[in-house]
Structure 1
């Protein structure tokens, strides 16, 4: 059974979600605080994290930031606020999706299943970030961007980009047709299973995160993704 870490300090909400998840054959660990969640994850890796942004000891964003130091486990944010800044920050930190309270427990279960399917399809469903395995016969070409179709990974100048499932899909769309301008709606349609559940600002947040990872791989590589103001984004490797 997939193992889910639920981080929620409101008992009524937590009890409802635990029941819904366990009914659908998920194994659930419930933590009331951010520190409890980090300790639980350190003790036992989980396949998924449902993370409330408003926690009593630290924000869910802080918990996600600490998790991302060593893990690419999928994260679904819960928030009582409908503030755009919370959503964008969560996505920039590597969150896979968010839901605003109040919500349906069945919707949460459906989103968890959908994200796990996407993560499995891109090889990103492991709780721990897996370092690339290389050997003299499998050296990664030191090209600007190289897509390993077998492992479903993208390298920048020979360095593995540590991408979330959505970041990988979005960059792959751009890489498929360098020089073509994609609108935000086109990117949403191609990189998200349910584009109607997110906004075009979600694309902006993911592009910003991808650019940061490109820059980490090689100074100036962030400029590979160019903005066409009022139109969208394109990939330029020239």
Structure 2
């Protein structure tokens, strides 16, 4: 089995080298870049398994890099930021980050977060559908529905239209698709996408849902596939799949 490859994008060289050393000890291959320049080309060429991305970088900031990466790859991204305001963290999540960590941070915590994000990758997420008698595929979802998930490529197919997803978005959609029509609370969804039981605000789930809705929307005027149920949570609207 090949060691997973991690890209560290961090302008403080000493911090990047310490991260590299800690991750090396855990068996990961690590490459470091010290500015925003060249990141996109490197990711396209090497296709890393995870990216540790600083938000504030010389030449090009982390958020704009993340937004461009989300146009061509679902690679998990752990965003590092010195900004501790909730709005800054939500901005990163809405741009497609899978997790965030605030500076100054513990290098051991970063390693733990890396392991947790990699464990959440789609290939390890299959569950059994709770609907008795339903025909299910490897994602645990009903194979007869016009919305299907592709675990290996971290994407969805909606009426033959391919939708590229982040790992978090994939897990959210998988949870809803396994129980179409049923209401899932924010707590249930948080437990699904954050199995390490970290404390996350409800707004984090709402942020991911907004991004997911936008990706699943089309120009056909169909209602949103994901319906908000006031004071309850979210559900996949089966009528919108017709």
Q: Which runs of 5+ in 2 are unaligned?
A: 126-142
Matched residue count:
220
Q: Is this contact kept in 2: 1:122–1:152, CA < 8 A?
A: no
Deviations 1:75-101 (A, max 9, x none): 100000112222222222221111011
- Alignment RMSD, CA only? 2.5
C-alpha separation between the residues in 1 aligned to 2:48 and 2:17? 19
State how 1:1-238 maps to structure 2 within 5 Å: 1-119=3-121, 121=123, 144-147=146-149, 154-216=156-218, 219-221=220-222, 223-238=224-239
Q: Is this contact kept in 2: 1:33–1:55, CA < 8 A?
A: yes
C-alpha separation between the residues in 2 aligned to 1:168 and 1:199? 19
Secondary structure of 2:48's counterpart equals coil
Deviations 1:127-162 (A, max 9, x none): xxxxxxxxxxxxxx8954235689885321222321
C-alpha separation between the residues in 2 aligned to 1:99 and 1:191? 16
TM-score (norm 2): 0.80
State the Cα distance separating 1:210 from its structure 2 match.
1.0
Secondary structure of 1:223's counterpart equals coil
C-alpha separation between the residues in 1 aligned to 2:38 and 2:185? 42
Secondary structure of 1:166's counterpart equals helix
C-alpha separation between the residues in 1 aligned to 2:89 and 2:223? 23
Q: 1:142 to 1:58 in 2, by over 3 A?
A: farther
Judging by fraction of residues, say which structure has more helix: 1
State the Cα distance separating 1:37 from its structure 2 match.
2.3
Q: Is this contact kept in 1: 2:154–2:165, CA < 8 A?
A: no
Q: Is this contact kept in 1: 2:5–2:49, CA < 8 A?
A: yes
Q: 1:191 to 1:43 in 2, by over 3 A?
A: closer
State the Cα distance separating 1:69 from its structure 2 match.
2.4
Q: Give the ranges of 4+ consecutive aligned residues of structure 1 lying more than 4 Å apart after TM superposition.
A: 141-144, 147-153
C-alpha separation between the residues in 1 aligned to 2:87 and 2:204? 11
C-alpha separation between the residues in 2 aligned to 1:5 and 1:171? 27
Secondary structure of 1:34's counterpart equals coil
Q: Which runs of 5+ in 1 are unaligned?
A: 124-140
TM-score (norm 1): 0.81
Deviations 1:10-33 (A, max 9, x none): 233222211111122222111111
Q: Is this contact kept in 1: 2:74–2:167, CA < 8 A?
A: no
